[in-house]
Chain A
Amino acid sequence: MERCSRGHMQAKKRYLILLSAGACLVLLFYLGGVQLPAASRSRHDRSRNGHRLEQPWPHFSDPLHPFLPWDQTDTEDYNLHISPRQKRDINTSVYKGKRCRMDSCFDFSLCRKNGFKVYVYPQQKGEKISESYQNILSTIEGSRFYTSDPGQACLFVLSLDTLDRDQLSPQYVHNLKTKVQNLPLWNDGRNHLIFNLYSGTWPDYTEDLGFDIGQAMLAKASISTENFRPNFDVSIPLFSKEHPRTGGERGYLKYNSIPPFRKYMLVFKGKRYLTGIGSDTRNALYHVHNAEDVVLLTTCKHGKDWQKHKDARCDKDNAEYDKYDYKEMLHNSTFCLVPRGRRLGSFRFLEALQAACVPVMLSNGWELPFSEIIDWNTAAVIGDERLLLQIPTTVRSIHQDKILSLRQQTQFLWEAYFSSVEKIVLTTLEIIQDRVLEHASRSSLMWNSHPGGLFALPQYSGYLGDFPFYYDTLGIRPYPKFTAVIHAVSPLVSQSQPILKLLAAVAKSQYCAQIIVLWNCDKPLPAKHRWPATSVPVIVIEGENKVMSSRFLPYEIIVTDAVLSLDEDTVLSTTEVDFAFTVWQSFPERIVGYPARSHFWDSNKERWGYTSKWTNDYSMVLTGAAIYHRYYHFLYTNYLPTSLKSMVDQLANCEDILMNFLVSAVTKLPPIKVTQKKQYKETMMGQSSRASRWADPDHFAQRQTCMNKFASWFGAMPLVHSQMRLDPVLFKDQVSILRKKYRDIERL
């Protein structure tokens, strides 16, 4: 028993020990077993974070050869043991097919002599031209690129309407093939530009135009990347018949709301094609629709026999479709889905852009409009049709700041390149011009930032810092001095003439670099000694043809960024000039001036009115005394059409109004009025010198006429009102005048 019990005890002990050993083992296995996969997993994790434990690419440390041995002869014959025929077969072309590029299909020599001039074929009798195409042609004819002489032309545009090449369309022009071939200047389409909005027809909607375009360039809507010849064709947006010829509506964004979310996150409302090309994506939209903030609606009800193809979803979809209003959705959504239709592009794209509803592109293979120059990632979300189901997650993941910026960019792009037929056509031409004059082409920044490529002319300068628009982006400031340009029209007879006083006052300004006297007087130039001695150089130049526009010519002798433009009878003190210039430095893209004028809509006469009365607001400052950037001289001379400039020259009037129109069209902002002593023209007008055009009773009526003429050319009224004037900080404050830097301004 004892033994037995001892044995039992021992057995107990042994089991205890065994148990503990077993427990240890279990622990061991547990640790080992768990640790091992954990270790391998953590290695995996770490490799994901970049701290790899195992180097996947071995970083071979052997002494390797460079890929380009200096003794090329060794390798040159390396392939020689292949038969020449074999080699040729492989070598002939890496890719299937070869197509036009500027270097091969465009004759640059035609543009060398006369620059970038565009010829439009004369319209033939009996040829019908659609309204849209007529708008395109008249835009070209009204532009500064136009030439009526084919011998001077660099680019040719057909008068045959090629916009609608859908055979089923009533606008379709028949026999285009022969008509085009018979054109004497056709030359296999070389240096020709063909505009097209629609091509192909039901059911496959190919991009064939139905005639041989030869070596001509295409400016085409809905063009696919497969057919698009990069840097040769131009992708244009699809626009409707109603798209205005000039001006165009402004974008709908009135202010930047914070947070930037709207009622809906993502919307779409459109047709669903039950069969045929382009139906896949739209058929799948209902998967993503949630009837709350993602509202994607389709209808089957279109075409004659929709009920024949009707599927199970149609009734439900149609009912849902009718519940929502397209316009309401467009204006209240953060993102707008732009899926492909039968063709790649759709009107919806421009509609969304104008409505500041950020387009979400679902149109694989669509070469987006003006893709050559527009960075669409800054204004749209480019989705992939194959990843439709991810779209809601994708758009929700976009940061608020990015939405804010996308939305503003839609508005910039809409107004810069899309809001009118004119803008679309001019953008197309400018893109081609940039290719032709490659050394003077616009940078991406010029195209993609305010005020856009149509207002930033690269011929002015290749350096962005020479323009008034990019100081902030470049982190630089305008040159801190100005050039005064005095417009002289009366002969120099007495030493007390206003022009001499003005010259002296301006020359005394610490910011004055030089003074240019533009001699637009019929009398010959006065002798040099007649001009007062000043500390800055005075340069007298004779006006070209002595016309009004010559005061805005981009004279090369203007070396400063700022121009102080002056009439000869302007009365200004040095202090006023100094102060105005410091203000201009804060607003280098605007006109900063003294006497202001205003425009208003005269609803009785249904036209614009002009007023020089004292009002609580203004929209123009007279360029008889104003500071602005010298770039506007270049723009005035090169951007504006001859018709408006010659009108100004003939009237010898309105040049200041035209300059204000131009600058406000560029900036979309009012000019800036600064403090002046109340003796300027307002008091001078009655007693002014006989030469003053302000005394002329017709003067005022002319200006009224000018306003309306200009507004019609711009297509809209670009002038903007302002209610403020900028004064020196201590202006008329009750503090000792000795403390005031610009005390002379309030002394009178």
Chain B
Amino acid sequence: MYTSGKYSSRGPALIPRMKTKHRIYYITLFSVVLLGLIATGMFQFWPHSIESTADWTLDKRSVHDAPLIRLPVSSPIPERGDLSCRMHTCFDVYRCGYNPKNRIKVYIYPLQRFVDELGVPISSTGLSREYNDLLSAISDSDFYTDDVTRACLFIPSIDVLNQNSLRIRETAQALAMLPRWDKGMNHLLFNMLPGGPPDYNTALDVPRDRALLAGGGFSTWTYRQGYDVSIPVYSPLSADVDLPERQPGASVVIPEEKLSEMYTILKSIPHRQVEEMQRQARWFWEAYFSSMKAIGLTTLQIINDRIYPYAARTYEQWNNPPVVKWSSVNSPLFLPLIPPRAPGFTAVVLTYDRVESLFRVITEISKVPSLAKLLVVWNNQNKSPPEETLWPKISVPLKVVRTKENKLSNRFFPYDEIETEAVLAIDDDIIMLTSDELQFGYEVWREFPDRLVGYPGRLHLWDHEMGKWKYESEWTNEVSMVLTGAAFYHKYFNYLYTYKMPGDIKNWVDAHMNCEDIAMNFLVANITGKAPIKVTPRKKFKCPECTAIDGLSLDQTHMVERSECINKFASVFGTMPLKVVEHRADPVLYKDDFPEKLKSFPNIGSL
């Protein structure tokens, strides 16, 4: 390409002299241009083959090709490390800076072979198999950068895994010669076997200024907490886990003085705990220490967590094996709190066009003492809501929200208008709930703010014949769902429903215009691990003439569809999160032989 350019640039000067041979000239010119284009094309379309050739040669590269560096005798030696080094004193955090991904960038020095003035190498083994594995793993990871100016952490290619194979003074000199050494700032060394005879120090003896040390065999004297990283001694032949950091879940630590009591102590550990520890240790080993790769990346993750502590992995993330994670739940509303009564609740009524029924519902709910606000979600795009003057006059604010589409999920949107923690979702035809029942429901919700607290209860059952889940709305002794046609819940679950619903459940619900309540029950049970609370006895919710069985519709297809929902949701969640219970909540004195007028909630269960 370069030649072709040069050649054609000379072209115009030739023309007058080659009048007769212009044809040949044109042909030459065009073929040159063509060749140039082809060459460009090749460069563009064959990059992989070119690169892979390079790869191949690189892979073939041998440690013996690494440049040889001779260390002058007088070459400077780094200072001894400072025991008081901490991230804020010995680590330059500016190099890491603000990073939207909260991930440190790690640079690896190219391999060099250091020898002293007599040509004797500084290490008897040179680059070890393990250190090569470790550096290869880091260079393959997200942490790696080949741009030394963007790096936050530097890893020398000088192998110090085993101190016994090192000449300490010369190794130290070699470190100090690294171009970015700068008193060891932001440099990370890996060492597994520190201290040789006669002292057997518990940390690498190589003077190293401020460099961080990821080491095995630290003692509490040499381990600089929050700076160094304790790693196990890796040996591919041994399955012994030398536990780093302090992991009470997986090891028993017994002070030397207590050796005599060891047998008693070990015997006193319950069997289940031993099993648990074995499982934990095995998992630790596999997740973090099974290979040099795991050790290297775990070390970097630990340092990463120190530099971006607000993005750090939690103790549970570090320590819980995936098996536990599957069934374990950590509810996002984990603080045991009984919220005060005073803020009250916001009633959210989903309606389409049943105005008369809607107005009755509004009038009934407005009698509930703790009602703070009424929000009507107007789901009909073809019709405007009634004039303001026509609405029932109530003592709390009433807001109407018009939706863009007639979707069931609109009822669970976290509207800004909902200013209370407690939300009462209620259908526009639930006219039979008494003020006492609603107020009591709110009181129960206060005791269980992390659950769905609702009136009509439902159950899921395993259909042995069909081999799948079945929806049940009959009079059962058990409950695993409450219908959101009338239920209290925390506004947080609106967020979860709208933004965190797994899979395509939300769209599925909107498309089928059904099962939004089942979806909500799945969501809450899955994240809290808890059953809903059904409040007050079963009754007729819509009208005195209706049967006590309620819901959108009673026909068979409806029930079939709801069974389908349960099966679909269970497969999306990958588990059946619903929990079955046999209780419901009633006022303390419900049905007790006690004057009704002295009861807080006398009007419960009436038709």
Q: A732 — which chain B residues lie within 8 A by C-beta?
A: 537, 590-591, 605
Q: How far is the CA of A239 from the CA of B600 in the complex (A)?
A: 44
> Are B169 and A90 touching (Cβ within 8 A)?
yes
Give the Cβ gap from B80 to chain A, nearest Cβ, in Å.
6
Q: How far is the CA of A377 from the CA of B299 in the complex (A)?
A: 18
The verdict on B391 contacting chain A, using a C-beta distance below 8 Å, is no
Q: A253 — which chain B residues lie within 8 A by C-beta?
A: 335, 337
The verdict on A537 contacting chain B, using a C-beta distance below 8 Å, is no
Q: A52 — which chain B residues lie within 8 A by C-beta?
A: 146
Q: How far is the CA of A86 from the CA of B236 in the complex (A)?
A: 35
> Are A583 and B583 touching (Cβ within 8 A)?
yes
* B336 touches which of A76, A254, A669 (Cβ 8 Å): A669
Q: B518 — which chain A residues lie within 8 A by C-beta?
A: none
Binary B-proximity of A381-394 (CB < 8 A = 1, otherwise 0) = 11011110010011
> Are B127 and A101 touching (Cβ within 8 A)?
no
A29-B5, A67-B161 as given contacts; A58 in contact with B443, CB under 8 Å: no
Q: How far is the CA of A298 from the CA of B246 in the complex (A)?
A: 41
B474 and chain A: residue at smallest CB distance: A739
> Are A28 and B169 touching (Cβ within 8 A)?
no
> Are B128 and A55 touching (Cβ within 8 A)?
no
CB interface residues, A 394-444, toward B, < 8 Å:
394, 397-398, 400-402, 404-405, 408, 411-412, 438-439, 441-444
> Are B254 and A723 touching (Cβ within 8 A)?
no
CB interface residues, A 717-748, toward B, < 8 Å:
720, 722-733, 735, 739-742
Question: Which of A215-223, A483-491, A615-623 binds B?
Answer: A615-623
Q: How far is the CA of A384 from the CA of B307 in the complex (A)?
A: 9
B324 and chain A: residue at smallest CB distance: A475
> Are B332 and A404 touching (Cβ within 8 A)?
yes
> Are B257 and A728 touching (Cβ within 8 A)?
no
The verdict on B490 contacting chain A, using a C-beta distance below 8 Å, is yes
Question: Which of B51-59, B362-370, B425-433 binds A?
Answer: B51-59
* B12 touches which of A18, A101, A226 (Cβ 8 Å): A18
> Are B168 and A90 touching (Cβ within 8 A)?
yes
* B89 touches which of A78, A365, A739 (Cβ 8 Å): A365
The verdict on B476 contacting chain A, using a C-beta distance below 8 Å, is yes
> Are A579 and B100 touching (Cβ within 8 A)?
no
* B8 touches which of A21, A579, A667 (Cβ 8 Å): A21
B208 and chain A: residue at smallest CB distance: A94
Q: B204 — which chain A residues lie within 8 A by C-beta?
A: 94
> Are B324 and A474 touching (Cβ within 8 A)?
yes
Q: A476 — which chain B residues lie within 8 A by C-beta?
A: 327
> Are A225 and B63 touching (Cβ within 8 A)?
no
In the complex, how many residues of chain B place their beta carbon closer than 8 angstroms to a beta carbon of chain A?
179
> Are B600 and A258 touching (Cβ within 8 A)?
no
The verdict on A526 contacting chain B, using a C-beta distance below 8 Å, is no
Q: B36 — which chain A residues lie within 8 A by C-beta?
A: 24-25, 28
B190 and chain A: residue at smallest CB distance: A67
Q: B58 — which chain A residues lie within 8 A by C-beta?
A: 54-55, 58
The verdict on B462 contacting chain A, using a C-beta distance below 8 Å, is no
Question: Which of B175-183, B310-318, B404-412 binds A?
Answer: B310-318
Q: B414 — which chain A residues lie within 8 A by C-beta?
A: 258-259
The verdict on A375 contacting chain B, using a C-beta distance below 8 Å, is yes
Q: B273 — which chain A residues lie within 8 A by C-beta?
A: 461-463
Give the Cβ gap from A529 to chain B, nearest Cβ, in Å.
36
Q: A27 — which chain B residues lie within 8 A by C-beta?
A: 37
> Are A729 and B128 touching (Cβ within 8 A)?
no
* A257 touches which of B5, B207, B421 (Cβ 8 Å): B421
A91-B201, A727-B584 as given contacts; A255 in contact with B421, CB under 8 Å: yes
Q: B556 — which chain A residues lie within 8 A by C-beta?
A: none
> Are B93 and A726 touching (Cβ within 8 A)?
no
CB interface residues, B 1-52, toward A, < 8 Å:
1, 4-5, 8, 11-12, 15, 22, 26, 29-30, 33, 36-37, 40, 43-44, 47, 51
A62-B62, A67-B161, A439-B252 as given contacts; A90 in contact with B310, CB under 8 Å: no
B43 and chain A: residue at smallest CB distance: A35
The verdict on B255 contacting chain A, using a C-beta distance below 8 Å, is yes
The verdict on B557 contacting chain A, using a C-beta distance below 8 Å, is no
> Are A58 and B61 touching (Cβ within 8 A)?
yes
Q: B588 — which chain A residues lie within 8 A by C-beta?
A: 596, 615-618, 673, 722-725
> Are A579 and B207 touching (Cβ within 8 A)?
no
Question: Which of B221-229, B349-357, B375-383 binds A?
Answer: B221-229
Q: How far is the CA of A97 from the CA of B63 in the complex (A)?
A: 39
> Are B477 and A741 touching (Cβ within 8 A)?
yes
- A-B complex: 3 closest residue pairs judged by Cβ atoms: A475-B327, A57-B139, A67-B128
Between A and B, 24 residue pairs with Cβ closer than 8 Å are A24-B33, A32-B1, A50-B142, A55-B139, A57-B139, A57-B144, A64-B127, A65-B128, A68-B193, A91-B168, A226-B86, A254-B337, A255-B449, A257-B421, A258-B490, A375-B314, A377-B309, A387-B94, A400-B495, A475-B324, A616-B599, A616-B600, A723-B440, A725-B588
Given A90-B169, A438-B253, 15 additional A-B pairs, CB 8 A = A25-B5, A29-B5, A54-B55, A55-B55, A57-B136, A67-B159, A93-B201, A94-B205, A225-B225, A230-B225, A255-B337, A444-B315, A448-B315, A583-B582, A725-B585
